[in-house]
Structure 1
Amino acid sequence: MRPVRTAFAGALLGTLVLAGCGQTTPTPTAAPTGAPTTAASSAAGFPVTIEAGNGKVTLAKKPERIVSLSATHTETLFAIGAGPQVVAVDDQSNYPAQAPKTDLSGFKPNVEAIVAKKPDLVIVSNDIDHIVAELGKLNVPVLLEPAAVKLDEAYEEIAEIGAASGNKAKADEVVSGMKTALDKLAADAPKDKKLTYYHELDQTPYAATSQTFIGQVYAMFGLTNIADKAPDQAGGYPKLSAEFVAQADPDLIFLGDVKCCGQSKDTLAKRPGWKGLSAIKNDQVVQLDDDLASRWGPRVVQLAESIGAAVAKAGAKS
């Protein structure tokens, strides 16, 4: 998701605290990979009960009209092969290109507009305005999958969405591929360099500590987060002062506010006391894709690849 940057820390903080997920419990076992697509095989695995953020959600049959109000979960649905079942997504869901774009909002959900899409499953990452209960009153099944705090939670949510959508085998394949790719990236990282970093959410500047989802991705590469020493942790997203960053003088600076806010090495150099920062002088300012830096779905591997390339470059220079 890509909310206004100054709202990102505040809006996402609450969801991070709630991000506990359970296991999927399909009944009976889903059809094996490669089974012919028939009415019988497509119904296999249903009814299914998912332990989601809103408790146990039971789906009697495979959903054919899914509405996603989360950019992360939209990416997941298409990655696991559920794209043809998706009839509408929220206005922040900009990937993949074939996602059916609408003006639906995940931050200001409109019950009437959602119901007008005739969904048999709605997937959200936030229970804003009690949308789960409001849709429940209209007998619309809702799956609440909050922002993941750990990679294991991201994997679990992908598996849950796979089971709920009738695409469990493909979801398991996606998770397995993510684990393999991330393990290799972490293993290849030069962790003996003891590099420090600063990840910027917006130019306020808000940062992310090691306790956040993205902070744990950085930790895979043996990096030390300067935000971990901020006086006010603010639930993992502290607002730092320019002086704090200047004094910490990180080896690497990662910007998650490029597309939204036009930040770059040049704009950082204009901030008071930042021109002489090591990351700026040594060309170690990394412009991330804002979306990859704020989502926790399958494309976290691409985010990790960007981080890994920067760490390798910095390690070679040090």
Structure 2
Amino acid sequence: MTGFRRLAALLLATLALLAGVTACATRPRSESTAPAEDPASAFPVKVELPGQPPVTLAQQPKRIVSLSPTATETLYAIGAGDQVVAVDEFSNFPPQAPRTDLSGLTADAATVGARTPDLVIAPDNAAQLADGLKTVNVPTLLTPSAATLDDAYRQIEVLGQATGHTKQAAQLVDRMRSDVDEIVRSTPKPPQPLSYYHEVSPDYYSATSQSFVGNVYGLFGLANIADPAGGKFPQLSGEHIVQANPNLIFVADAKCCQVNAAAVAARPGWDTLDAVRRGHIIELDDDVAGRWGPRVVDLVRAIGAGVAKAQQG
């Protein structure tokens, strides 16, 4: 009898074990036992940016190649830096990003594929690269230039979803929104709109209110002297700038072309400009002014400081 009881107990234990295994094998995916904070549990995921084809990621990418300086900054800001194995030659921030000689403008599928990526992030004009990588099953997320701050926020959120850092991306966007709102709210409002000239290059290429950076200036109610020229990045004439006599001059070509306040003041005829006479020339970081990533808050802060300075005399 004792032997029978032992045999029965062993049989029941075996059946219980098999039932458990069967239950685990047939459990619906929605009842996954993966921890809620496990980034990999969010995959597979489908992400999409406006005007671009959707991208499906079967699992969390571990080898990301970024060919967009803005995307590179964002990846590190949301905690995905450890997943980045290569970035393009212009991705100079943060300093620890693994820069290469890759280019978002000219890179081909074979060269990028040699880095064995499981996700490539590139500008939206790299459709040919995306098609080439598709043939070797490498998903490519194309990122269009942001036109507004909301576009920039959306792009950060999508990069968070694509990399398994949805929560971190949402927190970053919340901080950015809060910081931008606070800077704009605390900046003194002039009785009349101040006019400004934003310089992209020394040959007087500028940015209108239709551009992303122009949209940021618009938060402060500034009047852009480049708007009559139309488009996003028109080339102005020196005569037009002098005639417009802007209250503020923002130069975003200090790194590329060594343009600073002294260089602007030394231009023929510019000594008559209100912005020059009053010292209202603000030197911007070229990279910050030309990207729509997390450091856009620094751009807003610099513009706010310029607006406040112009009202002090």
TM-score (norm 2): 0.86
C-alpha offsets along residues 137-167 of structure 1, whole Å, 9 cap, x if unaligned?
2211000111100111100000000000000
Whose Rg is larger?
2
Alignment-derived partner of residue 117 in structure 2 = 119
Query: Equivalent pairs: percent with the same residue?
Result: 48
Query: Contact (CA 8 Å) 1:125, 1:144: kept in 2 or not?
Result: yes
Q: Report the alpha carbon displacement of residue 200 of structure 1 after superposing the two structures with TM.
A: 0.4
Tell me how far 1:248 sits from its aligned partner. 0.4
- Greater helix percent: which structure? 2
Equivalences, count? 283
In structure 1, the residue matched to 2:150 is: 152
What one-letter code is carried by the residue in structure 1 that aligns with 2:211?
T
Distance 1:98 1:155 in 2: 24
Question: Who is 2:269 aligned against?
Answer: 273
Inter-partner Cα distance in structure 1 for 2:130 and 2:31: 28
Matches within 5 A, 1:1-318: 41-52=38-49, 53-128=51-126, 130-193=128-191, 194-230=193-229, 233=230, 235-317=231-313
Q: How far apart, CA to CA, are the structure 1 residues paired with 2:242 and 2:155?
A: 38
Post-superposition offset of 1:110: 2.7
Q: Structure 1's 243 and 103: CA in aligned 2 closer, same or farther, altered over 3 A?
A: same
**1:35, distance to aligned residue in structure 2 (A):** 5.2
Q: Report the secondary structure of 2:297's partner residue.
A: helix
How far, CA to CA, are the matches of 2:130 and 2:186 in structure 1?
43
- Kindly indicate whether the alpha-carbon contact (under 8 Å) linking 2:126 and 2:142 is maintained by their aligned counterparts in 1: no
TM-aligned CA distance change 1:155 to 1:129, over 3 Å: closer
Higher RCO (CA < 8 A, seq sep 6+): 1
1:218 is paired with a residue whose SS is helix
Q: CA RMSD in A?
A: 2.0
- Aligned residue for 1:191, secondary structure, equals coil
Structure 1 unaligned regions, length at least 5: 1-26
What secondary structure, in the 3-state scheme, does the structure 2 residue paired with 1:175 have?
helix
State the 1:48 CA deviation.
Answer: 0.5
Paired letter, 2:55: V
Give 1:290 shift: 0.4
1:229 Cα shift? Answer: 2.1
Q: Contact 1:31/1:44 (CA < 8 Å) preserved in 2?
A: no
Partner of 1:139, secondary structure, is coil
Counterpart Cα distance in 2 of 1:139 and 1:294: 32
Deviations 1:279-304 (A, max 9, x none): 11111011100000100001000111
| Letter of the structure 2 residue corresponding to residue 70 of structure 1 | S
Q: Structure 2: how far apart are the matches of 1:247 and 1:154?
A: 34
Partner SS for 1:309: helix
Paired AA for residue 136 in structure 1: K
Alpha-carbon distance change, 31 to 313 in structure 1, aligned in 2, over 3 angstroms: farther
* More deviation, 64-73/302-311: 302-311
Q: Which amino acid aligns with 2:44?
A: P
The letter for the 2-side match of 1:294 is G
- Tell me the TM-score normalised to structure 1 length: 0.85
- Conserved? CA contact 1:212–1:236, under 8 Å: yes
Asked if 2 retains the 8 angstrom alpha-carbon contact of 1:190 and 1:221, the reply is: no
Does structure 1 conserve the Cα–Cα contact (< 8 Å) formed by 2:127 and 2:142?
no
Determine the C-alpha separation between the residues in 1 that align with 2:57 and 2:67. Answer: 19
SS in 2 for 1:93: coil
User: Partners in 1 of 2:267 and 2:298 — Cα distance?
Assistant: 29
